[in-house]
Amino acid sequence: MIPVLELQNLSVDLPLGGFLTRGGLPILQDVTLSVGRGESVALVGESGSGKTTLARAVMGLQAISGGAVRFDGKAVAGRDGFARLRRDAAMMFQDATASLSPRLTVGYLVTEAFRIHRQPLPDPARTARELLATVGLPPAIAHRYPHELSGGQARRVGVARALALRPRLVIADEPTAGLDVSVQAEVLNLMADLRRDMGLAYLIITHNLAVVRHVADRIVVLYLGRVVEEGPTAEVFAAPAHPYTASLIAAEPKPDPRKRRADLAIRGEVPSILRRPKGCEFHTRCPLARDVCRLTAPDLRPTTSGRLARCHFADQHQE
């Protein structure tokens, strides 16, 4: 079956310097991933790992410098390609309130996709009510302005906006950012319900591993703009093949603080992308780094358990 979204060796460079100096700063390097129909894939990594850039590149908000984006098996290119992608895929932004145009009412905002893509909208008020009902908001919200919404309401409006044209893929950038825990759970449950009811595929960008466990079928771990591990969520959590993944999982707050693995704790800061470490880019922070890691960069290759990992010792340190 053709995946909904495929990224092939996607690279994004941030342009550097003036008009005489060419070249750029690589933000994403050779990212290959796919999201199947109805599948939920989580993209995780620390701040600065390129997660948000990836989402923007997919939606055409960020110029790509290499590789290809394929939607429904067709390469996305040109005005028509992006118009189709933007109709059949939707993006939810990290800051839900800031991503709503401030001078327009919620009623207008949730039905705007119909107007943009010239879809029939015989009764805007009714469509708005229905969409708001889908995300569990009362109809009266339609008359409010974005600054009159709470964080959770704004997030739900964002979901309603994304769902307006019944997309097949939703890219959600930190869907739980800025929400308190009970509202986080509500939003995640809502997203899970909608996925079941509408057959949506999700690409969820987050650094919150609790979210990943809750909603993702598969997980892709980014480090400095490269995929370092990919595999089914349960397997990755049970036995991470890359020490970075292991460190992320170890760093997650645990109900019992004594169970935290101090030996796997991540050290130091993310290296600057201006000065990428030689060899394996993670060796500066890796608890398991050896001499070979400082010299040779590992490739992303299958492990014995059938996942992908970018580590020389992926098969050895799985416990």
Partner 1 sequence: MSFVVDPALPARRGIGRALLADPMGLAGLVIVVTFVAMALLAPWIAPYDPIALDVKAKFLTPSAAHWAGTDHLGRDLLSRIIWGARLALGIAITSVGIAGVIGLVLGLVAGYGPRWLDSGLVLVFDSLSSLPMIFFALAVITVLGPGTLTLILVIVLVSFPAYARLIRTQTLTLAGADYILAERAMGARPGRIIFRHLLPNVVGPLVILICMDIPVVIMLEAGLSYLNLGVKPPSPSWGNILAEGYTSLRQAPHVVIVAGVPLVLATLGFTFLGEGLRDVLDPRGAGRRWA
Minimum Å gap between C-beta 46 and partner 1 is 21
Which 169-208 positions form the footprint of partner 1 (CB under 8 A)?
none
281: buried, middle or exposed (CB in 10 Å: 19+, 13-18, 0-12)? buried
- Supply angle C-alpha 51, 67, 213, rounded to 5: 30
Minimum Å gap between C-beta 204 and partner 1 is 16
Minimum Å gap between C-beta 206 and partner 1 is 17
Number of residues that bind partner 1 (CB under 8 A): 27
Secondary structure string (H, E, C) spanning 27-51: EEEEEEEEECCCCEEEEECCCCCCH
Minimum Å gap between C-beta 290 and partner 1 is 43
Q: Is the distance from CB of 229 to CB of 282 less than 8 angstroms?
A: no
**Residue 82 vs 237, nearer CB to partner 1:** 82
Q: Which of 51, 56, 214, 312 touches partner 1 by CB under 8 A?
A: 56
Q: DSSP states of 78-114 as a string?
A: HHHHHHHHHHHEEEE-SSTTTTS-TTS-HHHHHHHHH
Q: Which of 143, 147, 261, 301 touches partner 1 by CB under 8 A?
A: 147
Minimum Å gap between C-beta 147 and partner 1 is 4
Which 83-122 positions form the footprint of partner 1 (CB under 8 A)?
83, 86-87, 90-91, 93-95, 98-104, 112-113, 116-117
Q: Which residues contact 52 (CB under 8 A, 6 or more apart)?
A: 94, 173, 205
Minimum Å gap between C-beta 164 and partner 1 is 9
* Strand arrangement of the beta sheet that strand 5-15 belongs to: 24-35, 5-15, 66-71, 74-75
Q: Which of 161, 214, 242, 312 touches partner 1 by CB under 8 A?
A: 161
Ranges of H-type helices in 172-313:
181-198, 209-215, 233-238, 243-251, 291-295
Asked if 61 interacts with partner 1 (CB under 8 A), we say yes
- CA-to-CA separations, 179 to 146, 153, 182, 188, in angstroms, rounded: 16, 10, 8, 11
Q: Which stretch binds partner 1 (CB under 8 A): 37-45, 55-63, 202-210, 262-270?
A: 55-63
Minimum Å gap between C-beta 162 and partner 1 is 9
- Which residues contribute to the site for partner 1 (CB under 8 A)? 56, 59-61, 82-83, 86-87, 90-91, 93-95, 98-104, 112-113, 116-117, 145, 147, 161
